[in-house]
Structure 1
Amino acid sequence: MFTGIVEELGTVSAIDDLTDAIRLRIAADVVLEGTGLGDSIAVNGCCLTVVSIEGRTWTADVMRESLDKTSLGTVRVGDRVNLERAVTADKRLGGHIVQGHVDGVGSIGRRTPSEHWTVVEIAVPPALTRYVVEKGSITIDGISLTVVDVTDTSLTVSLIPETLARTTLGFREAGDAVNLEVDVIAKHVEKLALPYLSQKEN
């Protein structure tokens, strides 16, 4: 489990093609502190398992399923990525409950800068917008953010200078793909309520 508070920007140093998967090598500093083989690190919001550590570089294998369902299939050597270690029981939950299980891929729309923040519009797959509410939480590329507005096809978030400086959203451009994870509590509530709602309709 994660909190959506990005710890550092890592850099993709190598990508090995394994035919039905890729081996992703990422240079990092902060997230390697106290990290061992088998630990989880979120990369742009995708929970990956550490399979090797060599100096300041760690490696993860990314399966075809993850490549097909997330933006990790589009990363290139030299790309910077958001990194977060799995939360520990004694850590403050600064963001919200994030699983690192991507629900869909959106894309960056308009960026509207102002003196103290930047409003960014994100195109969202229609199947996911029912889980998004104004002032609710959304995870974008592994970043826990508060939704400002939501429509049937998009949402907006306001980004403070700290978020712009410390995450990939500081340099993402219109059309760039981003990983989205909606609030898992909303999905559980929907599943539990559907049988009851179906009975009410009959």
Structure 2
Amino acid sequence: MFTGIVEEVGEVVDVRTDDDVVVLTVRAALAAEVGHGESVAVNGCCLTAVVTGPGAATLTLELVPETLKRTSLGAVGAGSGVNLERAVPAGGRLDGHIVQGHVDGIGTVVSRTPGERSDEVRFSLPAELARYVVEKGSVAVDGVSLTVATVYPDGFGVALIPTTLAETTLGSRAPGDPVNLEVDVIAKYVERMTAGYLQGPGFGQEGVAR
């Protein structure tokens, strides 16, 4: 489990293909503290570190076709910056919100309105995710825990503080760029568990949301 509080922006230094697997090598200071087999959120996607060790300067991560299909990581190349977060330890502080690192869909930066020190950014999102995004709720964008400021029929808007702009890749995202989205897992569980009891517009005979 993660919190959506980015620890570091790593740099992709190598991308290679090994049959149907894409292997990413990412330079990052936190690589020295990640053990083989540990989970790392890379732009919000939970990946397994496969080659590490004490004093290591890079992380090696494997992307299978399912990951490439469901996330934007297939678009990263050498020189790309990626948001990194290690799994939260049991008993650790939950500073952001509950993030699984299981990307629900890919959105797009629609627009950004710079302020004097902060930015307002609007994102699109897949229609099937819209019901999980609510004003003042939480959403993870490229692994960054954000509060939804505005809800639109086809997306949502957020306000980015100076720290987020400076310490994550969201500071350089431009209109048209793809982003990984993860909605609130609690909302999904609530919907699933109450589906059989709900009736009315938007629900089928068995209460399943359309």
TM range (shorter): over 0.9
Q: Which runs of 5+ in 1 are unaligned?
A: none
Query: Helix, strand or coil for the counterpart of 2:68?
Result: helix
Aligned residues: 201
Aligned equivalents of 2:204, 2:86: Cα separation in 1? 44
Instruction: Give the distance between the partners of 1:79 and 1:143, measured in 2 at CA.
Output: 17
Letter in 2 for 1:134: E
Residue 52 of structure 1 is matched in structure 2 by 51
Q: Deviations over 1:143-184 (max 9, x none)?
A: 000000112211000001100000000001110000000000
Shift of residue 201, structure 1, vs aligned partner:
7.3
Q: 1:74 to 1:201 in 2, by over 3 A?
A: closer
SS at match of 1:51: strand
> How far apart, in 2, do the equivalents of 1:52 and 1:33 lie?
11
Question: How has the CA–CA distance of structure 1 residues 198 and 21 changed in structure 2, closer, same or farther, with 3 Å as cutoff?
Answer: farther
Q: Percent identity of the aligned residues?
A: 53
Q: Deviations over 1:21-65 (max 9, x none)?
A: 201110000x22432001000000000001002630110111100
Structure 1 residue ranges, 4+ long, deviating more than 3 angstroms after superposition: 198-202
CA offset digits 1:76-123 (Å, max 9, x no partner): 111000000000023211100000000000000110111231100001
* 2:93 is the alignment partner of 1:92: yes
How big is the shift at 1:19? 3.0
SS in 2 for 1:127: helix
Consecutive unaligned residues of structure 2, counting only runs of 5 or more, are 206-210
Counterparts of residues 1-202 of structure 1 (less than 5 Å): 1-29=1-29, 31-53=30-52, 55-198=56-199
When normalised by structure 2's length, the TM-score is 0.92
Q: CA deviation at 1:197?
A: 1.2
Map of 2:208 onto structure 1: none
TM-score scaled to structure 1, two decimals?
0.95
State the alpha-carbon separation in 1 of the partners of residues 187 and 97 from structure 2: 13
Higher mean alpha-carbon deviation, 54-63 vs 167-176, is at 54-63
Equivalent position SS for 2:149: strand
- Structure 1 distance, partners of 2:204, 2:8, is 49
Letter of the 1:3 counterpart: T
